[in-house]
Amino acid sequence: MTATLLAFDTATEHLSIALLSGGGVHVHEGAGGAQASATLIPSILALLARTGIALKDLDAIAFGRGPGAFTGLRTACSVAQGLAFGAGKPVLPIDTLLAVAEDARAGEDRPQRVWVAMDARMNEVYAAQYAWAAGRWTVLDAPMLIGPDALDARWQALAPEHVAGNALTAFAGRTWTTGTARLSPDALPRAGAMLPLAQALWADGGAVDAAAALPLYLRDKVAQTTEERAAVRAAKDALEAAR
């Protein structure tokens, strides 16, 4: 039986939500960034209402754990925890960069290597390399925070096969050493791409208790922003509403 899964990501300037129910996929896409802390929960509840699915009907809740924007990661994690606690459901933390790779794969089943390069601001890149074969992803280079010159040096040493992510266009005027690689600059951690990853993680027993769901940070930060504190309050409100 196909699991009923809710997935969402707010690690970038794009907010993405998807629901897998009865074999059908329902998607909501919208503006992320600073707006995500205020719009994520209402958008989730609206999608559930539109499809006639209640939180208690879910098998698990998947969220993009990062790396990505601090506010976005904390928003997604706190909302996933709040909803999961309220509904008594487990959580599936999904590698945000792997979701970008899956989005770029676009259903192609041929073996391939995908480098993901996402703009991390401050003249840095969130990068990782994955391989798709026999219906599964494996990690070749774990998520890292790296300068564009250092990443390009890796590509000079071993030519990439497929490069996905907005770093290809975010660094204006830069010439990347991508050679004949397939380029997917518009690939994002879309929730629709997260669903097959969540299904695989669910099947492998990778679900965790809500309290154990944590963001993946690759850059140190301590203080919470106003938006992050608002996201925590919203998650607590969602917890009360779900009871």
The model's pLDDT over 30-80, given as tens digits with 9 standing for 90+, comes to 887 777 788 999 999 999 999 999 999 999 999 999 999 999 999 999 999
Query: What tokens does 241 get?
Result: 């509403």
pTM of the predicted protein model: 0.89
Query: Region 199-225: what's the mean pLDDT?
Result: 85
Residues 86 and 203 in one domain: yes
Q: Domain residues for 102?
A: 97-184
Residues 194 and 90 in one domain: yes
pLDDT of residue 224: 46
Residues 86 and 122 in one domain: no
Residues 118 and 229 in one domain: no
Residues 105 and 174 in one domain: yes
Please identify, among 163, 184, 205, the residue that sits at the C-terminal boundary of a domain.
184
What span, in angstroms and rounded, lies between the C-alpha atoms of 47 and 241?
16
* pLDDT averaged over every residue in the chain: 91
The 8-class DSSP code of residue 66 comes to E
DSSP secondary structure, 148-173, as one string: HHHHHHHHHHS--SEEESTHHHHSTT
The more confident residue out of 172 and 182 is 182
Asked if pLDDT for residue 239 goes beyond 60, the answer is: no
* 34 C-beta neighbours (distance < 10 Å), count: 15
Asked if pLDDT for residue 227 goes beyond 60, the answer is: no
The CATH number covering residue 179 comes to: 3.30.420.40
Which secondary-structure segment (H or E) carries 188?
none
* pLDDT class of 229 with cuts at 50, 70, 90: low
Residues 179 and 194 in one domain: no
Question: Residue 211: which residues within 8 A CB-CB, separation 6 or more?
Answer: 81
Per the document, the length of the chain is 243
DSSP secondary structure, 191-224, as one string: HHHHHHHHHHHHHTT--B-GGG-----SS---PP
* pLDDT class of 219 with cuts at 50, 70, 90: confident
pLDDT per position as a tens digit, 18-33: 999 987 999 999 887 7
Please identify, among 184, 204, 229, the residue that sits at the C-terminal boundary of a domain.
184
Asked if pLDDT for residue 174 goes beyond 80, the answer is: yes
* pLDDT class of 210 with cuts at 50, 70, 90: very high
CB contact at 8 A, 75 and 227:
yes
Residues 122 and 155 in one domain: yes
Asked if pLDDT for residue 232 goes beyond 60, the answer is: no
Please identify, among 167, 184, 201, the residue that sits at the C-terminal boundary of a domain.
184
Residues 36 and 113 in one domain: no
Query: Region 121-128: what's the mean pLDDT?
Result: 96
Residues 91 and 11 in one domain: yes
Residues 106 and 134 in one domain: yes
How many folded domains does the chain comprise? 2
Residues 28 and 141 in one domain: no
- Specify which residues 27 forms β-bridges with: 18
pLDDT per position as a tens digit, 77-103: 999 999 999 999 999 999 999 999 999
Residues 87 and 197 in one domain: yes
Name the phi and psi angles at 236, rounded to 5.
-65, -40
